[in-house]
Structure 1
């Protein structure tokens, strides 16, 4: 890294809170080094109240851009100059590109989710999905899955500040795709259990399972799962979440954390910033080294 950084190095950031657990700096900096690109990628703890000044810094420091993660994926939108059509549809941004002071927001989370399943030879198109959460990642996953051919999506969410966003997601999916979407309250455990039982894949896109909630899961009973279904947790730190342990107790064959999704969404962002294809197989071996 020190051999690459000089007076011409271009900075790319990651703005979220909490974020020190992120594997994104490892992913992008190794990719830059592999391709001989003079970029550096750093993670910054940015709470929502500090977000406006952080976004101004992208322009001020002439950064190439930044990734955005929780809790800023939706709050960043008013601070940008333009939105990619997909980001506008999703209503969330996870990637910013700076073109001479013009900041454009993109979303690559949904692409990363679908591509990570394809990488594992798991095809959810034409199937039913139960999805927990309607924040930035959950919204991107739901809409991209619907666009890519998932047949039914049952979205579960708490009746909190993101409930209206969950309703919006359902309306957009039903109006603009061939997928049927329904909204359910996460507090209705019997309904939650029944929808999971009827699904090919259950995906948790909430922060439950990530610090400081690493000892928690929305599904505590292994009997809710079947061995022939897919269980996907977007959390990847810890590498094996409480949800994944419950699914493994149920004998579920396909259990995934969010590392593959993080890799593929990162590859899409990498191309937006550099115009180059990320060396995905090389980065995959670095990120998954401890799983061999």
Structure 2
């Protein structure tokens, strides 16, 4: 019987996950299908009950469900529990177990482009589930400075307070972060702002951006967000969300199948579907 996998989110139409994972199932000879499911907040619990009834083998979780899904699962991986967000679920012996591959997926993708994080002064923009995962993983890597900014500063403060790894850090509002943007070597944008169809949105101004800095945006559709375009025009090196997306997807695929997939093939598949070259 064909195994069912999927991804839930709202919106979800933009997701490249079905194309990427179904290609992997085909090349590795796995009798399975991966489907995108549009699930609104108010229908999340019903969707998980439906997955249980169907015996879904595993699924990914994207915005806005990464935190809300936790009470609906049977078990949590320790890292996912510490982060307080889940992006990958495995169905194992009748139980749904939640994992978080966002942070590790992001750092793996970042290290394809940046040789070391130890000497970097870093700013993370946003304070949602992805931001928390990336913040904790970056903190473990031990950068020189790891600040975080958000429109609601209290959410950023909570991430700093609850991070299990000690690192010099401050929680800032957006205006304060913009005023001292030249401080940072690496800026990581973790919010959905700039995602299709709202492609002209940007979470902050790059007026004070330091030339030669590195700006990474976890949005991958479009391939170049307004933030990245403006940062590139200011002389920054830029990276979109394709690398993170592919690496976190590879980690999820490995948890579901035990197979370490071909990263290059995954990235090529996504870029082909998006119709462009990664930055």
CA shift, 1:70, in A, is: 0.3
When the two structures are superposed, what TM-score results if normalisation uses the length of structure 2?
A: 0.94
> Runs of 5+ in structure 2 lacking a partner?
none
Q: Distance in 1 between matches of 2:131 and 2:141?
A: 15
Tell whether 2:274 aligns with 1:291.
Answer: no
When the two structures are superposed, what TM-score results if normalisation uses the length of structure 1?
A: 0.90
**Paired residues of 2:61 and 2:86 also in contact (CA < 8 A):** yes
**Alignment root-mean-square deviation, CA:** 1.5
Paired residues in the alignment total 275
Moved segments of 4+, more than 6 Å = none
CA shift, 1:195, in A, is: 3.6
Residue 21 (structure 1) aligned to one of 14, 33, 36: 14
CA shift, 1:209, in A, is: 0.5
**Paired residues of 1:117 and 1:123 also in contact (CA < 8 A):** no
Tell whether 2:79 aligns with 1:86.
Answer: yes
Tell whether 2:172 aligns with 1:184.
Answer: yes
Map 1:143-292 to 2 at 5 A.
143-159=136-152, 164-173=154-163, 176-186=164-174, 189=175, 191-221=176-206, 223-252=207-236, 254-289=237-272, 290-291=276-277
- Per the alignment, in what secondary structure is the counterpart of residue 124 of structure 2? strand
**Paired residues of 2:156 and 2:172 also in contact (CA < 8 A):** no
Task: Summarize deviations over 1:48-73 as a string: whole Å, max 9, x none.
Answer: 11110111122111111110000000
**Paired residues of 1:21 and 1:237 also in contact (CA < 8 A):** yes
Map 1:53-68 to 2 at 5 A.
53-68=46-61
CA shift, 1:234, in A, is: 0.9
CA shift, 1:213, in A, is: 2.7
Q: Distance in 2 between matches of 1:95 and 1:286?
A: 21
**Paired residues of 2:216 and 2:239 also in contact (CA < 8 A):** yes
Task: Summarize deviations over 1:88-115 as a string: whole Å, max 9, x none.
Answer: 1100000011112201110000011100
Task: Summarize deviations over 1:27-56 as a string: whole Å, max 9, x none.
Answer: 111111111111111101111111101111
CA shift, 1:121, in A, is: 4.0
CA shift, 1:22, in A, is: 0.8
